[in-house]
């Protein structure tokens, strides 16, 4: 019985550490049909299935994450910047890589983009 409990605790700890997105992530997005990449920097805080923090084009321009959730390797959240709402749906492509889709919406306008992020290694 105690071996079973120890195994379960180990599996839960491994699952939690493998899926935790907390930390800094850097990359870019490209609007469908666009000719350039737009830089992205996120500072994620994950507590269970809740994802919070901030994101934007760089460290000096950050916006709070809204409605952030994460289940296994599937992260969903939004940012609002002035007239634009950014809706992200990202999935882990590898341990330190996130890939996914972005929907940008403003009054009477909507665009789609592809997002690619990598975990920033702390020095």
pLDDT for res 13 = 40
CA 35 from centroid of its chain's CA atoms: 23
Give 38's pLDDT tier (boundaries 50, 70, 90): very high
Q: Is the pLDDT of residue 75 over 50?
A: yes
pLDDT at 3: 53
Per-residue pLDDT tens over the stretch 77-100: 999 998 999 999 999 998 899 999
pLDDT above 90 covers a percentage of the chain that reads: 76
Question: Between 2.40.128.120, 1.10.10.10, 3.40.50.300, 1.10.287.1120, what CATH number should domain 21-119 receive?
Answer: 2.40.128.120
**H or E stretch at 18:** helix 2-19
The reported pLDDT for the residue numbered 111 is 96
Mean pLDDT of the chain: 88
Taking 80 as the threshold, does the pLDDT of residue 56 lie above it? Answer: yes
As a whole number of angstroms, the distance between CA 21 and CA 117 comes to 11
Q: pTM for this structure?
A: 0.82
How far is 72 from 94, CA to CA, in rounded Å? 13
Domain ranges across the chain: 21-119
Q: What is the pLDDT of residue 122?
A: 77
């Amino acid at each position: 019985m105690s071996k079973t409990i120890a195994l379960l605790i180990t599996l839960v700890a491994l699952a939690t550490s493998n899926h935790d997105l907390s930390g800094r992530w850097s990359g870019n997005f490209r609007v469908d049909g666009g000719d350039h990449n737009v830089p992205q920097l996120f500072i994620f805080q994950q507590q269970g299935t809740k994802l919070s923090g901030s994101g934007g084009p760089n460290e000096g321009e950050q916006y709070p994450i809204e409605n952030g959730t994460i289940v296994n390797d599937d992260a969903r959240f939004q940012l609002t910047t002035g007239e634009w709402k950014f809706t992200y749906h990202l999935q882990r492509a590898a341990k330190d890589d996130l890939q996914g889709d972005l929907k940008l919406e403003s009054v009477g306008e909507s665009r789609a983009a592809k997002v690619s992020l990598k975990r920033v290694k702390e020095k």
